[in-house]
Structure 1
Amino acid sequence: MGSSLALAGTLQFGTSHPTLALAVTALVVLASGSLLMTLFGWGNRRFDVRDKHCYIGGGSEGLGLSLACQLAQRGAHVTIVSRSQAKLDKARAQVETHRQSPSQIFQHYACDLTDPSAAASTLRTACRAHAGAAPDSLFACAGGCVPGLFAEMSAAEHWKCMEWNFRSCLNTVHEGVRAMKEEVGAGRRKGGGNVVLTSSVLALMSFTGYSSYSPSKYAIRGLAEALRNELLLYGISVHLFLPATIFSPGFENEQRLKPEITKKIEGPDEGLQPDAVARELIKGLERGDFYITYEPVGHMLRNSRAITPRNNNVVLDTLWGLAGTVVFPIWRWMSPDGEVRKEARRIAQAQQLGSGAATK
C-alpha cells in the first residue's frame, strides 16, 4: 500500500519553538508508560501461527508481502492474493525463502478483490488445500493512495479509491468470516481466529489532499469497529491496523501526485519500510490490541479521538490521550489549518491582482 501520513515530521521542536513543552510532555508520557509496563508486568500474548492458514489480500508487494514472509518464517501456511500474476509469481518465490518446514503450504492466486464473486471463489479455492477449512487468520492489506484536491479530481476518481480500498478490504474477509461463523455453528471450530483490516492513521484525522483516500479508510475503521463487536459471538478476534507512512512500491507515485500544500502540512517524509511495519503489526497482534498503532503520532491520534473501547492498556491509553489532547489541537491550528489559510490568502491576492489587471 502507499504511504499514509508523515505527521511526525511536522512536529519539529527546536529550543526556541513554542511547542517545546509539548515535546517534553510526550517524552514524559513515554517514560511513564514504559515504567508502568515494567512495574506491572504487562507483556505480550502469544500469536501462534505455526501450522495455521493465513490468508492475505494484497500480498504481492509492500506490507502484504512483508507480512507473508514473516508469517512463513513463523511456520504458517500462507496464501497471497493480488491482481497481478507476474507480481504474485515473484512474491511466491520470496515467501518460499522463509519456509521452515516441507509441510508448509504456500499458495498464490490472481484475483480482482474489488469483485465480490471472484474474491469469494478465490478464498474457497485456497481452502481446498486445508480440507476445506476456513483460514485461521484473514489479512486485508490491498489498496493504495491517489492524493489530490477534491474539486480537481473527478467524482469517478473518488469512487475508484473507495472501490480500491474499502471494497477490496470487505471482499477479502467477507467469505472467510462466513466460513468461520459456519464452522463455529457446526461445532467444527471452537472459536478463535483473527480478522485483520488495514486502515491508516488518516482514518483518525484527515486534511487537504486526502479527500479521495481518507473516506475509504474511515469506512474500513467503521467496518472493523462493527465486526469487533459482532464477531465476539463466535470467538473471532478483529484488529484494525493504523499505519503511518510506509515506503512501499507505490510511495514514489503518491509523492508525484501529492499537492504541494499537502507536502507542506506533512513536513519531511518520515516512515518505515514494509518489513518494519509488518513487524509492528505482528507485535500488536501479540498484545491482542484492537487498534494497532506503533508510533507517537498514531498513539496520540488514537487516544484523542474519543475512540472506544480503550482496551489496549487503560493506563497507557489515558496518558497518550492526555498528550494528544494538548498536542493536536495546537498542531492542527498551526499546520493544516494554518497552511490552508495561507493558501487561501495567496489565491485571494492572485485573484485581486488578476481583477486589477483586467480593469486597466
Structure 2
Amino acid sequence: MFFTNKFQPQGKFCYITGGSSGLGRALAANLVQNGAHVTIVARDITRLAETKALLRAVAVLGQESHCISADLTSSTSSDAALAEAMERNNGRVPDYVFLCAGFARPKFFVDASSEELQSGFDGTYWVSAWTAHAAVKKMVSHRTRGSIIFVSSFVGYTSFAGYSTYSPGKYALRGLADTLRSEMLLHHISVHIFMPAGIDSAGYIAENVEKPEITKKIEEGDQVISPEECAKHLIRGLERGYYQPTDYLLTDLVRMQSRGAVPGNNLLLDTMHWVVSGVGVPIWRMITDAQVKRYRGSVAADLEARGFYQSEANRKGSTDI
C-alpha cells in the first residue's frame, strides 16, 4: 500500500535518551547513517564514549554527534541535559526526541521493597516523563513542529506475574502519550509511542538474572530481536505515521484489545488483527493464567523456606478481636 514518508531524519536534530546501549544505541547509529544530527544521553560515561566513536564512524555527511552523561530520573538533571544538548547544537531545539532510557528488574510484588517499587517507576515512567516535559516546553516556546517518541513495552498493553516493578510505569507512559497526542495537536507537535517486545540487549540479559521462573516460562518461545532490527521497526512505523508502532504480531493482537480510542495503524491489517485477537488473546490469557497456577506450589515452598508466612499462632492472634 502506498504511503507518504512521514519521517525524514536527514539534517534534523535527534535527541535520544538511553542512547549508549540497546535500542537507543542502534537507533542513534541508524539515524546518523541517514544524515541526522544526533545527541545521546545516558549515565555510563564509558559506554557513551564508545557509542560516540561508533556514531562518528558511521556518519555519512560528517555530522558531529554529541554525548551527555545525566541521571534522567531527576527533573532538574533532565532539564539541564536538554539545555546542554541545545547549546551544543547552536541553540537549536530537537526536531525528534526519542525516549529510550529505562530498565527492568522483574520480581514478585510481595518480594519487592518500597525502594524497589519506587525505583522501578522512576526507571520506567519519570525517566521519560521529565525529558518529555522539558522537550515539550522548548518545542512550544520556540514554535518547533517536532515529534516526541516514547518507548513503552508489550507489558504496557497487558501484564502478568513478575512485572509489578516494571509494567505499571509502562502503562503510565501510555496514559501520558495518549494525553499528549491530543494536547500537542494545539502546537503541531506529533506524539508516538513504540511498543516493542523482547530486545536482545545487555539490559535484557540483566533483567533475566533475577526474573522469576514463572515469568521466564510465560515468555518462553517469545520473539526476541536485535536492537538494530527493533530500531528498523520503530523507524518504519514512524515513516508510516503510526501512533503506536510495534515489532511483533502478538503485540499487534493485544494492541487491538487494549489501545482505547487512539488512532490505529493500518486499517486493513488492524481489521484482520482485531478479528484474530478476539479469539487469540483470550486463549493466550487462559494459557498464561494456567501456567501461573502451576507454580503455586513452588512459590509457596519458597516463601515457606524463607520464613515469609506467619506461624499458625500468629495468624490466630492477628484475627482475635
The answer for the alignment partner of 1:75 in structure 2 is 35
The answer for the alignment partner of 2:87 in structure 1 is 128
From 126, 131, 136, the equivalent of 1:172 is 131
The answer for the alignment partner of 1:309 in structure 2 is 262
Unaligned runs of 5+ in 2: 305-311, 313-321
Deviation at 1:345, TM superposition (A): 5.4
- In 2: Cα distance, 1:345 partner to 1:151 partner: 16
Give the 3 Å change call, closer, same or farther, for CA 345–78 of structure 1 in structure 2.
same
Query: Do the aligned partners of 2:56 and 2:64 also contact (CA within 8 Å) in 1?
Result: no
The answer for the alignment partner of 2:60 in structure 1 is 100
The answer for the alignment partner of 1:325 in structure 2 is 278
Query: Do the aligned partners of 1:310 and 1:317 also contact (CA within 8 Å) in 2?
Result: no
Task: Give runs of aligned pairs for residues 59-70 of structure 1, distance below 5 A.
Answer: 59-70=19-30
- In 2: Cα distance, 1:80 partner to 1:170 partner: 17
Deviation at 1:213, TM superposition (A): 0.6
Aligned length, in residue pairs: 305
Task: Give runs of aligned pairs for residues 110-259 of structure 1, distance below 5 A.
Answer: 110-184=69-143, 189=144, 192-259=145-212
Q: RMSD of aligned C-alpha atoms?
A: 2.0
* Counterpart residue identity of residue 85, structure 1: I
* Counterpart residue identity of residue 101, structure 1: L
- In 2: Cα distance, 1:119 partner to 1:293 partner: 27
Query: Do the aligned partners of 2:157 and 2:259 also contact (CA within 8 Å) in 1?
Result: no
Deviation at 1:130, TM superposition (A): 3.0
- In 1: Cα distance, 2:56 partner to 2:37 partner: 11
Deviation at 1:84, TM superposition (A): 1.2
Does residue 271 (structure 1) correspond to residue 187 (structure 2)? The answer is: no
Deviation at 1:348, TM superposition (A): 7.1
- In 1: Cα distance, 2:299 partner to 2:28 partner: 47
Query: Do the aligned partners of 2:38 and 2:65 also contact (CA within 8 Å) in 1?
Result: yes
Secondary structure, counterpart of 1:133 in structure 2: coil
- In 2: Cα distance, 1:144 partner to 1:297 partner: 22
* Counterpart residue identity of residue 132, structure 1: G
* Counterpart residue identity of residue 257, structure 1: E
Give the 3 Å change call, closer, same or farther, for CA 306–80 of structure 1 in structure 2.
closer
* Counterpart residue identity of residue 245, structure 2: I
* Counterpart residue identity of residue 2, structure 2: W
Deviation at 1:55, TM superposition (A): 0.3
- In 2: Cα distance, 1:225 partner to 1:246 partner: 24
Give the 3 Å change call, closer, same or farther, for CA 345–236 of structure 1 in structure 2.
same
Deviates more, 1:249-258 or 1:232-241: 249-258
Q: Deviations over 1:73-99 (max 9, x none)?
A: 010000000011111011100111111
Task: Give runs of aligned pairs for residues 284-303 of structure 1, distance below 5 A.
Answer: 284-303=237-256
TM-score computed with the length of structure 1 as normaliser:
0.81
- In 2: Cα distance, 1:48 partner to 1:340 partner: 45
Give the 3 Å change call, closer, same or farther, for CA 347–129 of structure 1 in structure 2.
closer
- In 2: Cα distance, 1:294 partner to 1:130 partner: 32
* Counterpart residue identity of residue 121, structure 1: A
From 275, 295, 301, the equivalent of 1:343 is 295
* Counterpart residue identity of residue 109, structure 1: I
Runs of 4+ in 1 over 4 A off after TM superposition: 345-352
Secondary structure, counterpart of 1:51 in structure 2: coil
The answer for the alignment partner of 2:319 in structure 1 is none
Q: Deviations over 1:184-205 (max 9, x none)?
A: 2xxxx4xx21100000010100
Deviation at 1:350, TM superposition (A): 9.9
Give the 3 Å change call, closer, same or farther, for CA 194–348 of structure 1 in structure 2.
closer
Deviation at 1:174, TM superposition (A): 1.7
Deviation at 1:311, TM superposition (A): 3.0
Deviates more, 1:127-136 or 1:296-305: 127-136
Aligned-pair identity in percent equals 37
